[in-house]
A = this chain, B = another copy of it.
């Protein structure tokens, strides 16, 4: 179980080490409303350009509204449904693509929404929950199912819950789950001089 970073270069707050994206969720351990709200609250306090707060979250809490949760599950890519069906909460992070104050396109809408979503994931990690964001979902189906307005764009589905047992996953997913958590070297993503110098 890959719960530790395999190639850290510098110390960070433990929250960043705790957050990762497993596929093994515990279907028998529901998430309390209070904990769900604490995760959403962290997203709420993300920074945004012009303070526009473009993030919008569709929240499907199986315990509260199983029909809605099932609808979202069915919008996920089949391969994601295999494991996400055990997550007691499924969300879709959406972004309001135009500024509220002038209706013009918001160049930072997706960027800011990504910040809100990872805040949700970090807060989840801080209280013992796990999250897994997915790009693999049918955005048109999500839009139709949840009546998403034209100027709002579904960006990512998010599974939220408690960690389950790896051995409940199929073999392929088990291998991924056990693989080392790695990242590019810091030198590959930081430019202290510029690109071609």
Contacts of A50 in B (CB 8 A): 135
Whether A47 contacts B19 by the Cβ 8 Å rule is yes
Copies in the complex: 2
Q: Which residue of B lies closest to A117 (CB)?
A: B115
Interchain CB contact (< 8 A) of A12 among B10, B41, B195: B41
Question: Which secondary structure dominates where chain A touches chain B?
Answer: mixed
Whether B113 contacts A59 by the Cβ 8 Å rule is no
Whether A190 contacts B47 by the Cβ 8 Å rule is no
Measured between C-beta atoms, what is the minimum distance from A15 to chain B in Å?
7
Whether A21 contacts B34 by the Cβ 8 Å rule is no
Q: A65-B193, A118-B47, A193-B68 are in contact. Are A40 and B111 (CB under 8 A)?
A: no
Q: Which of A23-31, A78-86, A143-151, A164-172 contacts B (4 or more CB under 8 A)?
A: A143-151
Q: 6 closest pairs, A vs B, by CB? A: A114-B114, A111-B114, A115-B118, A10-B41, A110-B110, A146-B194
